[in-house]
């Protein structure tokens, strides 16, 4: 990412890290009064460590590489300096934020609009799954801030007449490691986002960047309790139901490796009476946002998701993260479990390890630098659930087949059952619905 000059290699900040106690307010960091008031309205009582480190440097116009644990306030660390600079030199198409997932793009947009509501900031979210024409109209209005996923942005740069980023002053790559490893052509990114901008403003290449690191690279937060369960692969569903019953009353995010398994497991749990809702890449964008909003509003207690939900999403009330399918890439473990124990809260993470996952699990333990304890289970109680879980599995497979056939017959109705709310009422066929916890437990 850095330009080729020797001095472009990242350097540590020239000043020692400022202690959080020494800087009490955003105003002390140099943030203007109107934005400080916006922070107060959002409940941001004091800046986080990454904000203390990054905001003063960003206000000086320095290029920054920021490293901080998940849930540490990184969005505010780049949004506040951008809005501060926008107030000083108002301009359309002022900043671009690139992000790897659609959900994260909408979340970042919400923060920009909340922080900038009193100063009239306009933003546009440019992501896949939404009509390109409406996005073209939004870009024609020249918003101050664009939040985009790279693939759809490149599409507009190639095909939307009159749209370019030559006037851009700020470029942010949120979750930069993920963006640079995505499946679209990196050549296109280079051509449109870097070469053109470097020729005009020299803003898209890092110049003498400062590295702001406020935690070790692959650290999990202290208040996160991490466990694993070693189980035979064929009993994963049964153990999941057991865990949900044992920890009943909590809010869960359950991560699966594929869209199909996410949908299947959501149907399985629905059939047993749990308020489960899926979120995966094969759902329409409106359905994805609908699932996320229902979970955020606590209308659903269980969100089953692929890794589209593992990065950056801030849902404060998540109590437990379950890695139903162990992540293939060890770093994804850090992001998944980071959905709980956010902003000083406590939380649990439980990883299912089957006979096929031992090596992947060992890599995770090596990465985080600790051995995880076993989550206590009563195997005899788990086995008592097998019959009802098997029945729910059978109905879930039936529903998946019916959904696939319906999708073939009518594209218009393809997404109707994404929520599995109208899952043909099959859970009523599974005797007794949600299993009750036994007395004395």
Model confidence at 184: pLDDT above 50: no
Residue 18: pLDDT band by 50, 70, 90 thresholds? very low
Residues of the chain with CATH 3.40.50.300: 6-213, 224-429
**pLDDT (0 to 100) of residue 203:** 42
CATH architecture of the domain 224-429 equals 3-Layer(aba) Sandwich (3.40)
The band of 408, judged by pLDDT with boundaries at 50, 70 and 90, is low
Would you state the pLDDT for residue 88? 92
**Residue 192, pLDDT score:** 53
* Average pLDDT across the chain, whole number: 81
pLDDT at position 285, please? 81
**Per-residue pLDDT at 301 exceeds 80:** yes
Closest by alpha carbon to 313, among 130, 117, 104? Answer: 104
207 — pLDDT class (breaks 50, 70, 90): low
- Residue 86 clears pLDDT 80, i.e. is over it: yes
Whether the pLDDT of residue 423 is over 50: the answer is: no
Give Cα 428 to chain centroid, integer Å.
34
Residues 357-405: tens digit of each pLDDT: 999 999 999 988 899 999 999 999 999 999 999 999 999 999 988 877 7
pLDDT at 219: 57
**pLDDT for res 206:** 61
Residue 342 zone, left/alpha/beta (φ > 0; ψ -120 to 50; rest):
beta
Identify the weakest region by mean pLDDT among 32-41, 173-182, 191-200: 191-200
Q: Which of 208-212, 232-236, 291-295 has the lowest mean pLDDT?
A: 208-212
pLDDT for 416 beyond 80: no
pLDDT digits (tens, 9 = 90+) for 36-77: 999 999 888 889 888 999 999 999 988 888 887 666 788 999
Provide mean pLDDT across the span 328-341.
Answer: 86
Predicted confidence band of residue 346 (pLDDT cuts 50, 70, 90): confident
pTM of this structure? 0.66
Q: Which pLDDT belongs to residue 4? A: 36
Would the pLDDT of 15 be above 70? Answer: no
The pLDDT of residue 20: 42
Phi, psi for residue 266 in degrees, rounded to 5: -60, -45
Count CB-CB contacts under 10 A for residue 84: 20
Residue 112: pLDDT over 50:
yes
CATH of 6-213, one of 3.30.1330.10, 3.90.550.10, 3.80.30.20, 3.40.50.300: 3.40.50.300
Least confident range from 131-135, 169-173, 222-226: namely 222-226
| Backbone region of residue 55 per phi and psi (left: phi > 0; alpha: psi in -120 to 50; beta: other values) | alpha
Secondary structure of the chain in the HEC alphabet? CECCCHHHCCEECCCCCCCCCCCCCCHHHCCCHHHHHHHHHCCCCCCCHHHHHHHHHHHCCCCEEEECCCCCCHHHHHHHHHHHHHHHCCCCCCEEEECCCHHHHHHHHHHHHHHHHHHCCCEEEECCCCCHHHHHHHHHCCCCEEEECHHHHHHHHHHCCCCCCCCCCEEEECCHHHHCCCCCCHHHHHHHHHHHHHHHCCCCCECCCEEEECCCCCCCCCCEEEEEEECCHHHHHHHHHHHHHHCCCCCEEEECCCHHHHHHHHHHHHHCCCCEEEECCCCCHHHHHHHHHHHHCCCCCEEEECHHHCCCCCCCCCCEEEECCCCCCHHHHHHHHCCCCCCCCCEEEEEEECCCCHHHHHHHHHHHCCCCCECCCCHHHHHCCHHHHHHHHHHHHHHHHHHHHHHHHCHHHCCCCCCCCCCCCHHHHCCCCCCCCCCCC
| pLDDT (average), residues 350-355 | 96
């Amino acid at each position: 990412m850095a330009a080729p000059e020797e001095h472009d290699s990242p350097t540590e900040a020239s000043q020692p890290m400022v202690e959080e106690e020494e800087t009490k307010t955003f105003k002390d960091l140099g943030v203007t009064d109107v934005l400080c008031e916006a922070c107060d309205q959002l409940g941001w009582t004091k800046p986080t460590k990454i904000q203390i480190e990054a905001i003063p440097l960003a206000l000086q116009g320095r290029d920054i590489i920021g490293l901080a644990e998940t849930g540490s306030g990184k969005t505010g660390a780049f949004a506040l300096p951008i809005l501060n600079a926008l107030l000083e030199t108002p301009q359309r198409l002022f900043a671009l934020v690139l992000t790897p997932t659609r959900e994260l793009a909408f979340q970042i947009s919400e923060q920009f609009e909340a922080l900038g509501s009193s100063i009239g900031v306009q933003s546009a979210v440019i992501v896949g799954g939404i009509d390109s024409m409406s996005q073209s109209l939004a870009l024609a209005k020249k918003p101050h801030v664009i939040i985009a996923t790279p693939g759809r942005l490149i599409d507009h740069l190639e095909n939307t007449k009159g749209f370019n980023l030559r006037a851009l002053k700020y470029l942010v790559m949120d979750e930069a490691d993920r963006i640079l490893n995505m499946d679209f052509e990196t050549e296109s990114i280079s051509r449109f986002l870097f070469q053109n901008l470097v020729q005009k403003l020299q803003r898209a290449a890092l110049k003498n960047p400062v590295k702001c690191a406020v935690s070790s690279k692959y650290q999990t937060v202290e208040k996160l309790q991490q466990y694993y369960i070693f189980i035979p692969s064929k009993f994963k569903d049964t153990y999941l139901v057991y865990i949900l019953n044992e920890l009943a009353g909590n809010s869960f995010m359950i991560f699966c490796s594929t869209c199909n398994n996410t949908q299947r497991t959501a149907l399985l749990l629905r059939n047993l009476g749990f308020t489960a809702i899926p979120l995966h890449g094969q759902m329409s964008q409106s359905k994805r946002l609908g699932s996320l909003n229902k979970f955020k509003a606590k209308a659903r207690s269980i969100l089953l998701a692929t890794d589209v939900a593992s990065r950056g999403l801030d849902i404060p009330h998540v109590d437990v993260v379950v890695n139903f399918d162990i992540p293939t890439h060890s770093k994804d473990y850090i992001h998944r479990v980071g959905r709980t124990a956010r902003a000083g809260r406590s939380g649990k993470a439980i990883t299912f390890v089957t006979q096929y996952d031992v090596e992947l699990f060992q890599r995770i333990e090596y990465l985080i630098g600790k051995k995880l304890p076993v989550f206590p289970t009563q195997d005899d109680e788990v086995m008592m659930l097998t019959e009802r879980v098997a029945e729910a599995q059978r109905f879930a497979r039936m529903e998946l087949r019916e959904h696939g056939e319906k999708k073939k017959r009518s594209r218009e109705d393809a997404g109707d059952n994404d929520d599995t709310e109208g899952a043909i009422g099959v859970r009523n066929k599974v005797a007794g619905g949600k299993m009750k916890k036994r007395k004395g437990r």
